[in-house]
Every structure is written in C-alpha cells, then in structure tokens.
Structure 1
Amino acid sequence: MDPRLDKILKLPNRQKLGLLVAVLILEAGVFFLALQQPKMKELKELQGRRDELQSKVEENRRIANNLPKFRDDYAKLEKELERALTELPNQKEIPGLLTSISSVGKNAGLDFLLFRPKPEEPKDFYSAVPVDISVSGSFYEVANFFVAVGDLPRIVNISNVQFGDIKNERGRTTVKVNCLATTFRFLDKKEIKDEKK
C-alpha cells in the first residue's frame, strides 16, 4: 500500500473526518468555480435577454391592440395631407389658380387693368408666386373680390393694397385698386436640390 495512504489511515478519526470535509469543500469549490458559476452567469444573461424580449412582445402587443386607433390616426393624417396639398398647388396647377383668381374678379364685377405674374421667390420647401393686380370697380365689388379670393381652396394672400382714382361716373363710384396677390406652391425634390446648389 502507498505509505501516504497508510499514514492517512492511521490518523485519529477526528483528523480523518476533518481531512474528508476539507477534500469535500475543495471539490465543491472547484465544481462551483469550474461548472456552476459559468452556468449561473449564462442563466443571468439569458434571463436578461428573456426580459428584454418579453418587454418587446408587450410593446408589440400594445401596438397591435391599438392598431385600429393607429389606422384611424393614419387615415386622418392622410386627409390632412390631401387638404394641405390642395392649399399649396404644384407647378402645373399655378396657371389654373391664376385663372381662377381672374375669374373671381370678373364675377365680382371688376375690370382687370393689370394681371402680371412676377418671378417666383423660392423658400425652403415652397415657392411664393406673386402677381401684380390692378382692378377697377366699386368699393363693394372690390370687397367681394377680396372675400372671394379668401374663400378659394388655395392659399392666396392679398397685400400692398392701394386705392386711387376714385371717380363718380353715371351715378356709380368706381375706384382703382393696385395690390399684390401671392400664392404658394410646393417645390419638388429636384427644385429643392437645385435651389440648395
């Protein structure tokens, strides 16, 4: 027999028991450090991933539960965009808009003395389209023209209003009005890039 093992077997029972406990503690420590601790760390990481995925699932479930509301909101935003697009025309709709301004003035009973579009003034994503206008008619007809322009579905601002040449002909008082009508249009992506250059 091995002399070391023989030496251990001859030890008193208390020392044998102490040695056995020390060997068991050493084995338990090696087992814990080599096998159990990495598994616990992996378990903790997996639990963290599970919690993260669970919160994403909850968030997605909440979104899915609110999907009809989001669809309604989207439909409302689409309608608002359509309305905004009718207020700001694109390039091809400007001549029609200018014609409608002219028609509104004629329907109000005004005589157009001047209707001259000026060069556009590009801004960030839109362009101002100014038009010099000079009309002649009664004050009431001019007021009706301004109201009718304000009721157009497009945005048209009237500014620089100047009254002059007040005449009384055949029992009718007429006035000449010079003003600047400014409408706006969206710039397309190409125009915005060209403007930035």
Structure 2
Amino acid sequence: MRSTNIAIKKTSYMVKLYLLPPFIKIILALGLFIFICVIGITILHRQSVAELVSLKQRKVMLEKEVTREAKSYGDLVYLSKNAKEAKEQYQSLIKQFPPEFKIGELLADISKLGTEQGLKFIYFKPQQSVDHVYYAEVPVEISVVGQFHQIGRFLGGVANLPGSVVAVNHFTLTRLDGTENLLSLQFTATLYHTLPTSLDIKA
C-alpha cells in the first residue's frame, strides 16, 4: 500500500507541474537554461584559465631554453658536425669585435655622443665584464633625459659606433613628469670585445 501511495503522489506532482500556466513554465524553463549556461561557462572559463597558465609557463620555459642555447653557441661551435663552416662564421663575427683596450674609448664615445645630442645623463654605469670563451661583453646601464628626436639619434649612434659591436636592449622610455616634450630613457648598451683566446679562432 505504501508503494502505491508514493506512486500516486509522484504522478500527482507531475500532473501539477504539467498543469501550471504556460507563463510559469516558461519562467522555470528559462531559469533552468540560465543555470545550465552559468555552470557550463564557469567550467569552460576554469579550463581556459588553466590552459592559458600552462601555455604561458611553457612559453617562458622555451624562451629560457632558446636563450641558453644561443649563449652556449660560441662555446660549443667546434662540437658541431659542420665545425669548419661554423668556425668560418664565428671568425667573421669575432673579427668585428674591437680589442679590450678600445672599450674605454667606446665608453667615452657614447658619453660624447649623448652630450652632442643635447641629452642630460642621469647615470652611466659600466658593469662587470662577462667573459666567454673567445670574447667578452661589458653591459653599460645608461639613463638620459631629452627630446624624442635627440634620443632617437643617440640610440642610432650608439648602435652604429665605428669599429665596435654594441647591442642596445632592456630599454624603457617614459614621459618626464611635469614636462610636455621631455622623455626619460633607461637602457643597457652591451659592448663586445675580444679576449687573448680570440687569436686562436682568428688564425
């Protein structure tokens, strides 16, 4: 008897739901649809965020790996199968590097170039030399203030100093507070020079 009563109650409930006014049915259906959409969107959003974080982490790992491989190229050049061709390419590159005693002159040239362009130096900080197998690099942290065209000519001049190989990177350009046409530039100029071991590869 109990099971029969339960069945009747369930049937009665479904009948009541069926007999609801159409307007109420539409509202209930719409509410159910919105609930399902919200749940679905939330799940998809969480999955997308997780995938995006994973892709960003993978990108950072790949960038570090590429940088590490590029840095070790000069050290591992003779281990490649095409050692002769690689050596010729490396010789050509090293021949463009000035000797170490020229670095002081190049630093003076950079300072002079900025002054000639009318720039104001905030700081000029040569860093510790970083030695590799056949060459070394000297990072120089520089900050100047001036107008856009002055800064542009200065950067172009630094990157094209005669008898040198200079890389300009890590630069930040911002408008100086309280001025209309003055900009503040911070960047690192990396100067490359040969080492005594460079004679081995130049031969």
* TM-score normalised by L of structure 2: 0.48
* TM-score normalised by L of structure 1: 0.50
Higher strand share: 1
